[in-house]
Structures are given as C-alpha cells and as structure tokens.
Amino acid sequence: MSRITLSRFLIEQQRKAGTLPPELRLLIETVGRACKAISYSVNKGALAGILGEAGTGNIQGEAQKKLDVIANDFLLDANEWGGSLAAMASEEMELPYHIPGEYPKGEYLLMFDPLDGSSNIDVNISVGTIFSILRCPEGIDHPTQEAFLQPGTKQVAAGYTVYGPQTMLVLTFGSGVHGFTLDREHGSFVLTHSDMQVPESTQEFAINMSNMRHWEAPVKRYVDEMLAGKTGPLGKDYNMRWVASMVAEVHRIITRGGIFMYPKDARDPDKAGKLRIMYEGNPMAFIIEQAGGAATNGYQRILEIQPQGLHERIAVFLGSKEEVERITRYHQEQ
C-alpha cells in the first residue's frame, strides 16, 4: 500500500468532502514546507551556528533566540507570495505583516508562534511551531489587527509541528486531527496518525510547580488533590511532567492523555495569564477539541472568548475532558 503524503491527504480531503477549498489546501501545504525548513535548521543546531541569543527582543519583552528570528523569517518568506493570504501575524512582531504589493492577495489570515519553547533550543529539548488560519472579513483589503480579532470558533484550520526525535505535523481543519511524520530521506510529511483522540481521563498533569506559591486557590486545590494520590479525594496516583514547551506538552497529551495547565498567577494580577490566545490558546484549543478533549481558561471555553488584542494573554487548561471539567468547576465554584 502506498504511503499517504500531506499533499495527497489534503487533495483527497478536498475531493471527497468538498470542505477544503483549494486555496486553503495550498496554504496548509506552504506552511508545511516552511516547517520542514525550520526542522532542518533546528536539527543542525550548533553545526550551523544558529544556537544562542539573537541580541534582540520581541513585542512580548522576551529575549529572542537566533532560531526565533530564523523561524519567523521562514514562515513569512514562504507564505507572502503564494496568493492565499491577506496578511500574517506573529507572536514575534508587534503589528500584522502585510503582503507586499507585487504579490496577489487571498482570503485568509495566518497567525503563528514560529518557535514555541525556544528556551529549550540550546539544551536540545523539543520545540515547535504553532499556527492558526482565519478567513479575512469581507470588504477588507488592507487588514489591521482588528481583522484578526476573531474568536477561536472562526478558525478554519490550525496545527503545530513538534521538532523532537521525529518531526511531526499535527493538523485539523475541523474534521478530526491527523498527524504526519517527516520522512527526511524523501522530504515529505507522511500520514502516520489518523483521527488522533485524547483519552477522556488521565493520571498525568503538566504544570510549572515552581510557581505554586503564586497560584489562585482553585489551582492549588486541584494540584493538592492530585498530589494526594490514591488516598486523596481523586482516588488515584498522578505523575507530573513539565517540558516548558507547549507544543511538546500538547503532543504528549494528544498521544496518551493528560492535562496541561498554565494558570494566571499573583505576580502580575493585571494579566489574565501567560500564554497568548491568538498564537497558542486558540489553535491548541481547536486541535484538542477536535481530538475529543477540552480547553478552558478556568471559566469558559477558550474558543468562545472574544479577543481584545493581537497579543492578549490568557490562562489555559486543556487536555483530557474529565480533568479539564474538574479544574473548570473548581474555578466556577470559588
């Protein structure tokens, strides 16, 4: 039986279901090519002299790694000329990136976190790329940031690429979640994981325990109950994981279950959380929900939140439905 590449998969979906427009198919393929280029750079590491700090900062006030800048440029360069996009937005840039005038414009908006977990680059731990695709509102020829401020339910596709022992692209366009592994010899993403599903219950959680003293009461209660194990109110032992890369955490959860938590905390009470709703919260929530899991900010479904800014932050609780519903209930009861 012949292997199904990403291109073949998308073309067959376009033909069979008729729910994948040709322009969207081409856009997803282009994003995939950019992720392959990023993967090769990540894989070379010190051999290509691309580790370490870039000496610049991004709009988030974070020091950029060299690969942050390289990955951002790969995605911009790959997608600006194809004719599918009206504009792009990146976690690394303050304002939207407009398609140069010499290129045709399309009907979609692309948002991305070019290299999630980049603090792991220099120590050779998994990092990733996250992307989200929206339709540009009708009648807008020169999209400003307001055009991007759509709730996550409006996404037409989302995905991530994890650069680990294998490079994998995990994708949804609203009809389930499918995983593709990069075959480096042939240069193609190949379908290896069809209809990925998050187990409803779990005995594994991911959170940065060093911030425990800053958490709100519902989060402290929930983690204390998990740490109590079989003798506690939840009646089972839990294991904790923390990679400090959202892509790696979500990929583990979508593969074997679990809950990922990045709550707001008392260090900066004016911020609703740490992660960005447009580049991390919405695309990952879309993927997790399509895989049978759940994603909330502790109070409501992430995908239903109306964003107020291009770099707005949010608390995130996502993964196995049973656990996400429990921590959300604890927030609502306080």
- For 213-257, the pLDDT digits (tens) are 999 999 999 999 999 999 999 999 999 999 999 999 999 999 999
Whether pLDDT at 146 is above 70: yes
Rg (CA), the chain: 19
End position of a domain, from candidates 170, 193, 216: 193
Token code pair at residue 101: 């005038």
Distance CA 114, CA 93 (A): 11
Distance CA 271, CA 326 (A): 23
Q: What is the CATH number of the domain that holds 158?
A: 3.30.540.10
- 118 annotated as a binding-site residue: yes
pLDDT (mean) for 45-63: 67
Decide: 9 and 195 in contact? Cβ < 8 Å: no
pLDDT (mean) for 144-162: 97
Distance CA 67, CA 116 (A): 10
Residues 266 and 118 in one domain: no
How many domains is the chain built from? Answer: 2
Whether pLDDT at 177 is above 90: yes
Residues 154 and 55 in one domain: yes
Distance CA 258, CA 252 (A): 8
pLDDT tens-digit series, residues 31-53:
999 999 999 999 888 887 767 67
The pLDDT value recorded for residue 160 is: 98
Distance CA 275, CA 250 (A): 14
In a domain, 102, yes or no: yes
Residues 134 and 209 in one domain: no
As a residue count, the chain comes to 334
Residues 97 and 171 in one domain: yes
pLDDT (mean) for 300-319: 97
Distance CA 310, CA 167 (A): 29
- 29 annotated as a binding-site residue: no
- 194 annotated as a binding-site residue: no
- Phi and psi torsions of 194, nearest 5°: -95, 140
- Phi and psi torsions of 8, nearest 5°: -65, -45
- 220 annotated as a binding-site residue: no
**CA dihedral (90, 94, 99, 102) positive or negative:** negative
In a domain, 223, yes or no: yes
- 109 annotated as a binding-site residue: no
Residues 6 or more apart whose CB falls under 8 angstroms from that of 329 comprise none
Residues 229 and 126 in one domain: no
In a domain, 253, yes or no: yes
Residues 6 or more apart whose CB falls under 8 angstroms from that of 168 comprise 161, 162, 179, 180, 181, 182, 192, 193, 251
- Phi and psi torsions of 104, nearest 5°: -70, 155
Indicate the DSSP class of residue 226.
H
Residues 65 and 85 in one domain: yes
In a domain, 199, yes or no: no
- 124 annotated as a binding-site residue: no
Token code pair at residue 6: 């990403």
- 265 annotated as a binding-site residue: no
Residues 94 and 174 in one domain: yes
Across the chain, which distance is largest between two alpha carbons, in Å?
Answer: 66
Whether pLDDT at 54 is above 60: no
pLDDT (mean) for 117-128: 88
The pLDDT value recorded for residue 332 is: 95
Residues 222 and 118 in one domain: no
Q: What is the CATH number of the domain that holds 327?
A: 3.40.190.80
End position of a domain, from candidates 193, 224, 255: 193
In a domain, 198, yes or no: no
Phi-psi group of 187: left, alpha or beta (phi > 0 → left; psi -120 to 50 → alpha; rest → beta): left
In a domain, 1, yes or no: no
End position of a domain, from candidates 160, 193, 226: 193
- 312 annotated as a binding-site residue: no
In a domain, 323, yes or no: yes
In a domain, 249, yes or no: yes
Confidence band, pLDDT 50/70/90 cuts, at residue 65: confident
Give how far Cα 265 sits from Cα of 69, 150, 217, 305, 311, Å. 29, 26, 10, 20, 18
pLDDT (mean) for 283-293: 98
The pLDDT value recorded for residue 151 is: 98
Residues 224 and 321 in one domain: yes
- 321 annotated as a binding-site residue: no
Residues 60 and 183 in one domain: yes
pLDDT tens-digit series, residues 100-110:
999 999 999 99
- The share of the chain scoring above pLDDT 90, in percent, equals 81
Residues 59 and 168 in one domain: yes
Decide: 285 and 295 in contact? Cβ < 8 Å: yes
Residues 92 and 157 in one domain: yes
Which domain range does residue 61 map to?
6-193
Q: What is the mean pLDDT of the chain?
A: 93
- 36 annotated as a binding-site residue: no
